[in-house]
Structure 1
Amino acid sequence: ERISEVDYGSWTGRKIGELVKEPLWSVVQQQPSAAVFPEGEGLAAVQSRAVAAVREHDRRLAEEHNGDVLWLACTHGDVIKAIVADALGTHLDSFQRITADPASMSVIRYTAVRPFVIHVNHTGDQLTAGLLAKPPKDASEDGEVPPDDAVVGGSTG
C-alpha cells in the first residue's frame, strides 16, 4: 500500500491537455516538493511513504537472509522517480529529471550506509542484464572494498 500510485485527487482521470493549464502544473514541474493535489496527496508525502516502505522491506529481507537480497517492487512512474531521487541523494524538486518509462526497471542496492543506484529506466529485451551488477567483495576477502563502500575510480573487476 505504501508504494501505491500517487493519489492525484480531483486530477485523476483528467487529460494532460487540461492539467497543463492549471496553476499547480508548473509547481509539479518546477517544485514538486510543494505540490499537493486537490483532494489528493502531496508528492513529498508520496516520497516519504514510498522510501520508508522500500528501505524497511529491504532491511527486513537482508536481516532474514544475512545479506544482500534481490526482490521486486512494482509501482508507477512518479513513485519510482521519487524513490530513485532519494537513492541518488537528489532533492525531490529534481525528480522530473528522472525517467521511468512503462515496464522499465530501475535497480537500487541498499546497504547499511547508503543506497547504490545500479540502473535507471532499464528497458528492452535485455532486462535481466540490469540485475547482473554484483556488490564489491567483502573487506575480509583479500582487503577488497567493504560492501557498504563505493569503489574509488570505478570498478577494477
Structure 2
Amino acid sequence: MATLILVRHGRSTANTSGVLAGWTPGVGLDERGLAQASALPRRLAGVPLAAAVSSPLQRCRETLQPLLDARPHLPLHTDERIGECHYGDWSGRKLAELSDEPLMEVVQQHPSSAAFPGGESMRAMQGRAVEAVREWNARVDAEHGEDAVYLMCSHGDIIKSLVADALGMHLDLFQRIHVEPCSVTAIRYTRLRPFLVRLGDTGDLGALMPREGTSGGAAEVGGGAGAP
C-alpha cells in the first residue's frame, strides 16, 4: 500500500501570537513559516510524489505553494477531512486564557471524551482524518501502484491523531506526540499494519533544546509555534 508523507503547515501568525486558530479565516504563514515552506521542495527533492492533498485552510495552501511551483505537474487535491479540528467557541482565543478552562484538563488528560463547545469532539476529528487517509491510500494504490508515495499537508492535532492510529495507540495517549511546524512525518501502510518511518522530522536538532515553560508537561493544543 501507499506511503503517506504528512507535512504540518509552516509556522503561522496564530502560532506566534498564541491564538488557537481553528478554522478562523485569514490565518497565514508568518515570515519564518514562509521560509520553512520555501525549504520544503529541497527537503523532498529525492521523493517521487504521486499526489498532494491539502487541508483547505490558508496556512496549508501557503505551505504547499513552493512545492507546487517546483513541481507544476504534481496533482493537488483538497480534503476538508484533514482540516484543523473544529474548536468552536475556542477558536480565535488566546491559549493562555484557555489554559484556565476546566475543559483544558480533559483535552490534556482524556481527549477521547473532549468536545469543544460549539465545535467537534477530538474523537470525531480523528475519525474523519483516519477515514480520509484510508480512502486516499486506496485511491493512490489504484491509480499509481502500491509503492507510490503521496503527501498530505495538515495540522498538528490531525497529524498527531493519525500517528496514534498508525501506532495502535488510544487517542488518550496522543498528547504524548509532538510535531513541529513544517515537520515531515511518514507512515508506510501495508496490508497487515502501518509502519511509522519518520516523526516530526525538521532536520533541525534545535527543536530538542529545553524550552521555557514546558516542564509542566502540557501538550500544545493546535500544535504550537515550534522551537524558537
TM-score norm. by structure 1 comes to: 0.77
Conserved 8 A contact 1:105-1:123: yes
92, 105, 110: which is aligned to 1:13?
A: 92
Residues 92-138 of structure 1: CA deviation (Å, up to 9, x unaligned): 0000000111100100011121111001100027xxxxxxxxxxxxx
Unaligned segments of structure 2, at least 5 residues: 1-79, 205-228
SS of 1:6's equivalent in the other structure is coil
Higher relative strand content = 2
Q: Deviations over 1:8-64 (max 9, x none)?
A: 001011111111100100000000000100000000000000011011101211122
Tell me what 1:41 maps to.
Answer: 120
In the alignment, what sits opposite 2:107?
Answer: 28
Matching residue's letter, 1:45: A
CA distance in 2, matches of 1:56, 1:69: 14
Deviation at 1:68, TM superposition (A): 1.9
Task: Report what 1:54 is aligned to.
Answer: 133
**Length-normalised TM-score, structure 2:** 0.54
Q: Specify the SS of the correspondent of 1:28.
A: helix
| The structure with more radius of gyration | 1
Q: How does 1:103-142 map to 2 (within 5 A)?
A: 103-124=182-203
What SS does structure 1 have at the residue aligned with 2:185?
Answer: strand
Write out aligned runs for 1:68-107 (5 A).
68-107=147-186
Shift of 1:66: 2.7
| Secondary structure in structure 2 of the residue aligned to 1:2 | helix
2:126 aligns to what SS in structure 1?
A: helix
Question: AA paired with 1:122?
Answer: D
Q: In structure 2, which of residues 81, 102, 106 is the aligned counterpart of residue 2 of structure 1?
A: 81
Question: Where do 5+ consecutive residues of structure 1 fail to align?
Answer: 126-157
Higher relative contact order (CA 8 A, sep 6+): 2
The separation in 1 between residues aligned to 2:147 and 2:172, in whole angstroms, is 30
Show the counterpart of 2:146.
67
CA–CA distance in 2 between the matches of 1:124 and 1:10? 36
Q: Distance in 1 between matches of 2:147 and 2:201?
A: 21
- Rounded Cα–Cα distance in structure 1 between residues aligned with 2:95 and 2:102: 13
How far apart are residue 65 of structure 1 and its match? 2.2
Q: Residues of 1 paired with 2:157 and 2:86: CA distance? A: 11
Aligned counterparts of 1:117 and 1:89: Cα–Cα separation in 2 = 11
Counterpart of 1:145 in structure 2 is none
